[in-house]
Amino acid sequence: MKIKIQNGIIIDGTGRSPEEGDIVVADGKIVEVGSKSGRFSGSFDQTIEAKDRYVLPGLINCHVHFSLNAGLHPMNDMTKTDSYTLTIQGVLVASRLIKNGFTTVRDMGSKHFEVLALRNAIRQGIIPGPTIISPGQALLMTGGHFSGREVDGVDACLAGARAQLQAGADFIKVMATGGLGKPDEIPGAQELSFEELRTCFDVAKRAGKTSAAHAHGLEGIKDIIRAGVTSVEHGTMMDEEAMDWMIQKGTYLVPTFAPYWLMAEEGKKKGVADYMIESSRWVMKEKMPRFQKAVKKGVRIAFGTDGGSPINPHENLEVECRCMVEGGMTPMEVISSLTQTAAHLLQLGDKVGTLEVGKKADIIIIEGNPLENIGHLKNIRGVLKEGKPI
């Protein structure tokens, strides 16, 4: 199928200035980009008029939970829900994500292997949805934050990580510190030891895969960086030394402002528990100034919203974008974090993330200039997934 998107203002994801022109798609890939696309000969099966609209790479969210429902107690709800229902819930989430411009999404762990099944169904064309990158289950200490496979000690970590790969996981996810899931949790408390963390990450590395770690507290953050993690999730209490280590090692930060901002600012009127509101206000107070330093230092930042967490719909991107701009990123840098940088984190940089010849035709069309108002990214007017209009 040959499609021409014409007269759009192209923001290609590389950081280059916008250019008005056309994009030609054939057999699911980009074959021509820019004002000279008229060189592509032949007829088109479909022509999409994009005059005065902006054309960008499909968006990538590096931190989403398909099995969480964005309610008041999503982790409790997930724990009480059977795997069949969680999988069906994931089908609906996938549909909303793709319609809102997210063509690639990294899930961050489910109760069992529900999201691996969802990923496979999308790959096989059974249901529509974004490309899903999934760890299967997160690895956590017994009684620790979140839900997944409980591991205690190096041997259990080795077995747990290998079990995820056996099930088909794309990467390894661990819970290094506490979070906001229970009233008695301490978000900054370290839960897995350095040796346990290193064991998990080594399994991923030997298999040629990446790793990610939930971490709020400083000691946990430093241990996951030293242990070789690919991406720090949340990174609330990181200090300048940790940032320097991240730059030296090429470690990514996925900040996930959205749930904490939403609970801190809107939680009271939406019925969020007081302890979660208080913890969220603490997170925002600690996170923002540290994030600003990370931006100035040049830490690699990939976009992630923690979609599905309390009062935080999976498809919501505006809150995260605005917090990142408040934290010192330019709108173009935020767009890069949503596209090119995110693609590299997910080991997909040669396939998606920029509008370049030879890459998959994951493309969105939006109304309004996102370089003037980053919130315009939510104004989706068209989505192509591997060259097929959604």
| C-alpha to C-alpha distance for 174 and 8, rounded to whole angstroms | 42
Region 216-240: what's the mean pLDDT? 98
Collapsing DSSP to helix, strand or coil, 46 comes out as strand
Are residues 68 and 50 part of one domain? no
List the Cα angle 47/52/56 in 5-degree steps: 70
The amino acid at residue 335 is I
pLDDT for residue 37 is more than 70: no
pLDDT for residue 384 is more than 80: yes
Are residues 376 and 230 part of one domain? no
Helices (H) and strands (E) counted in the chain, each on its own, are 12, 18
DSSP assigned state of 49: E
Are residues 290 and 247 part of one domain? yes
Average pLDDT, the chain: 96
pLDDT computed for residue 138 by the predictor: 98
| C-alpha to C-alpha distance for 325 and 34, rounded to whole angstroms | 28
- What's the pLDDT band for 41 if we cut at 50, 70, 90? low
Pairing of strands 231-234, 171-175: unpaired
Are residues 205 and 167 part of one domain? yes
Are residues 383 and 275 part of one domain? no
Domain count, the chain: 2
Are residues 163 and 198 part of one domain? yes
Are residues 282 and 194 part of one domain? yes
Are residues 191 and 43 part of one domain? no
Global pTM value:
0.96
pLDDT in tens, 176-227: 999 887 777 788 899 999 999 999 999 999 999 999 999 999 999 999 999 9
List the Cα angle 230/232/234 in 5-degree steps: 160
Are residues 283 and 162 part of one domain? yes
pLDDT computed for residue 182 by the predictor: 76
Pairing of strands 363-366, 54-57: antiparallel
The amino acid at residue 110 is S
Give the CATH number, domain containing residue 212: 3.20.20.140
pLDDT computed for residue 107 by the predictor: 98
| C-alpha to C-alpha distance for 216 and 206, rounded to whole angstroms | 27
Going edge to edge, which strands form the sheet with 102-107? 59-64, 102-107, 131-133
pLDDT in tens, 259-317: 999 999 999 999 999 999 999 999 999 999 999 999 999 999 999 999 999 999 999 99
Are residues 316 and 178 part of one domain? yes
Are residues 50 and 150 part of one domain? no
Among 326, 345, 364, which residue terminates a domain? 345
Are residues 372 and 324 part of one domain? no
Domain that holds residue 79: 59-345
pLDDT computed for residue 187 by the predictor: 82
Region 153-174: what's the mean pLDDT? 99
Give the CATH number, domain containing residue 23: 2.30.40.10
Backbone angles phi, psi at 139, to 5 degrees: -100, 130
